[in-house]
Amino acid sequence: MTQLPAFGQLPAAQGIARQKKVLRAAGLVLAAGLLLTGLLGWNVWRNARTALEQQFALAANERVDRVRERLVLQRSELESIQRFFENSNEVSRQEFEHFVSPLLGDALGYAWLPRVEHNARAAFEEQVQASGLLDYLIHDLDSQSHPVPAQVRERYFPVLYGASEYLQELPLGLDLSSTLPGRELTQRVLTGRQLTASMPVILPGAPAEDAAGVLLAAPFYRGSVMTSPGEESLGGLQGMLVAAISYRLLIEQGMDVDSLAQLAISLRDSAEQGADLPMYRSVVRAAQNSGLVMERHLDFAGRDYLVRIEPSRDFLQRNEGHPQLWVLLGGLLTSLLLAGYVLALLGQRQRALQLVEERTAELRANQLELQENQARLHFAMDSAGHGVWDWNIDLGKVFYSHAWKAMLGFRDAEVGASPDECTRRVHPDDQAARCEALQRHLRGETSLYQSEHRLRCKSGRWLWVLDRGQVVERRSDGSARRMIGTQTDISSRKAVELELGEVNSRLHGLLDAATQVAIVSTDLRGFVRSFNVGAERLFGYSAREVLGRPVPESIFVKEEIRRRAHELSTVLGREIRGFEVVGALVGEGHEEHEWTCIRRDGQKLKINLIITGVRDSSGVMTGYLGIATDITRRKEAELELRRLSVTDALTGVHNRRYFKEQLELSMARCSRSGEPLSLVMFDVDHFKSINDRFGHEAGDVVLVTLCQRVALRLRKTDVFCRLGGEELVVLCPGSSLEQAMQLAEALWQALRSQPMEGVGVVTASFGVAGWRIGETADDLMCKVDRAVYRAKRQGRDRLERADD
């Protein structure tokens, strides 16, 4: 190899100029990096602020909706007591306490305030004192909150009795009109004749933290009211039902300490003077300068409440991060590193230019050796059966090797040296692609020319060849001067590829034709290999979105996956996790299982999934094939059939079958917990006479109306069923025999006190029985049935208790 002389050093002026250019380029890179970092940090801060505002709006809306729900609950509970009074001839203290006891957790207390006219005040006080309240007097409260005899008024609304879990002592005898809020509330109730809320009050006897609240009053009338709205109505007014509600309990009850610490809440009555002073303010204080606040108006029983919500410091600490600081720090470091890299890269360019000149001289020295190796390569290629061609572009001549000519069936003398010898033999359909690939390589866009096309042989048949080549010499302007390549016969391989392509096309056509069935294939890790049209329609994902990617995690319900993994781990004795949950039981056959599927749009479907294994030629499993069908409508039909099978078609209550199931379950549950269990059974008296006199349609109306009236007086835990004909039963889990007797007496009085339209008074014979541990369901049914029979035998329209 020729020894080249070493290059001298660059002139000092040229080196300094190049160093300045390098420093200037590095400075520009650093400035651009810092600018981009600043923009990115600002954008991240803005996105974080938007996320914080959205999180606050979500939490605040949830808290306002909870307050609204609590207000509606308080109103509905007082209305239920109002309906209880309307459906009863007279409500005793015990009946009132029994009815409102399940409602006491949501309010400070409930009270009954009868209407007492001035001329009947003395008689009313004597009557109450005679009933057992010896020191009962209608009174007011003085400035020290001590009871004093009530002032002379036209009428009074004193507290007669009530119930509370929070008040140490009920203010019995306290007149509602003794205070300004009470007088204002009384006036609004008499004028509006509907459930009404008072102005903010301090509730006497309540704990200090719960003293601030509101009174909710509902009038109780007997008979119709003939006055117009907006006028006082006293005709038929028996009194008022009042609920004492604490603002703190209304807003905070049922919430954990962590939730209360997130938001600062204040509640104001918009109609009150000095409404800027809140009726309620949470212990947690709002964070300063957060810029986040939400105000909502809530309409409740004639009052307009303004709820103001602000985030606390704890809320901001949990939800407000500072990602922009990390972005700025990372961007600064990246900019510095990139500037340093550019500085080092450009500094090496000078040394690289020297190395290029040295390597150029070495390449020229090796050129002669390369030419000798080319001759040896031509001989080796001919011997291996590859056709070699050597194209001299300047001369417009091509050398075709003996093997190239023999591959097409020609002798050496039958093929010239023109480039057209190859070009004119290319199949017309392949001409454009071959020419494009060749021109791209000649322009220097690709490092290697490669084309698969057909050549016409001497016999006229078409031969598939793999044509490869490379420019080995270029001019000073970069244009090609000489190019060498090979052509290889690939007819056998191409025939196999075409056949496989045709088979694959037919298979994909068959899969896509099955539009009503989802067919999905995956590898053992869960990466999707195929996804037919039926799968796109069932799951809502397009094939382009899932091919080559794992099966979306959101397509299955996570709870079902965890439960299925636990079941399989127990059965197989090893931990099952990940995608293995789907095909763990495939083995040599298949696995069929029902899953809940979640479409991309969030809709839930019930599918039946059959999984089979996909194996290679040696029998090794390489993946899974799943076939899924939509069974949502079938499952919905099964649930509807189940509902119909346990519901009585006429009355809408549960039937005998459902009663037997619930009786067995309740007996088993009460046997474990030790709770009591009772039955109330009743049979409509003279029901056959009703059908005979008024017709079967009237009899059906009687049964429907009776069931509706009974259902209004039952608890949510009671089970009301029709055993058949006019025989009905109430299952009372958690109720003792005495409590069941009270319920039966209330139902008996309700039936006989309200006549039915077109039929008159309809009565029933009641029987009550309590369950004892050790008794079977048949034993309990026989006991209550005997009690009903005894009530009928002793004259009907009565209540009998089963003998223990």
- Residue with token string 């205070």: 179
What CA dihedral angle connects 87, 90, 96 and 99, to 10 degrees? -30
Q: Which of these CATH numbers, 3.10.20.30, 3.30.465.10, 3.30.450.350, 3.10.129.10, describes 88-252?
A: 3.30.450.350
Distance CA 584, CA 621 (A): 12
Residues of the chain with pLDDT under 70: 1-18, 223-233, 272-277, 321, 324, 350-351, 353-354, 368-385, 499-516, 553-554, 584, 587-589, 640, 643-645, 804
Q: Where in the chain is the domain with CATH 3.30.450.350?
A: 88-252
Distances (CA, A) of 162 to 35, 91, 113, 721: 73, 12, 9, 33
**Residue 521 burial by CB count (10 A; 0-12/13-18/19+): exposed, middle or buried?**
middle
Distance of CA 215 to the CA centre of its chain: 38
Distances (CA, A) of 344 to 23, 26, 62, 349, 787: 10, 9, 58, 9, 103
Q: Are 236 and 224 in contact (CB under 8 A)?
A: yes
pLDDT tens digits, residue range 662-708? Answer: 889 989 899 888 899 999 999 988 888 888 888 888 888 888 888 88
Q: Please provide the size of the chain in residues.
A: 804
Domain 385-489: give its CATH code. Answer: 3.30.450.20
pLDDT tens digits, residue range 571-619? Answer: 788 887 777 777 767 766 677 778 788 888 888 888 888 888 788 777 7
pLDDT at 10: 43
**Of 299, 308, 242, which is closest to residue 277 (Cα–Cα)?**
308
pLDDT at 190: 86
CA angle 357, 362, 366 (to 5 degrees): 145
Q: Are 390 and 470 in contact (CB under 8 A)?
A: no
Distance CA 346, CA 23 (A): 9
Superfamily of domain 646-801: Reverse transcriptase/Diguanylate cyclase domain (3.30.70.270)
Q: Are 275 and 242 in contact (CB under 8 A)?
A: no
* E strands present in 401-557: 449-456, 462-474, 480-489, 518-523, 528-531
Q: Where in the chain is the domain with CATH 3.30.450.20?
A: 385-489, 499-637
pLDDT at 515: 61
pLDDT at 770: 92
pLDDT at 91: 86
Neighbour tally for 506: CB within 10 Å: 10
The pairing of strands 727-733 and 677-684 is antiparallel
Distance CA 581, CA 624 (A): 12
Distance CA 683, CA 663 (A): 19
Write the secondary structure of 319-336 as one string of H (helix), E (strand) and C (coil).
HCCCHHHHHHHHHHHHHH
Q: Where in the chain is the domain with CATH 3.30.70.270?
A: 646-801
Is the domain defined by 499-637 classed in CATH 3.40.50.10860?
no
pLDDT at 383: 46
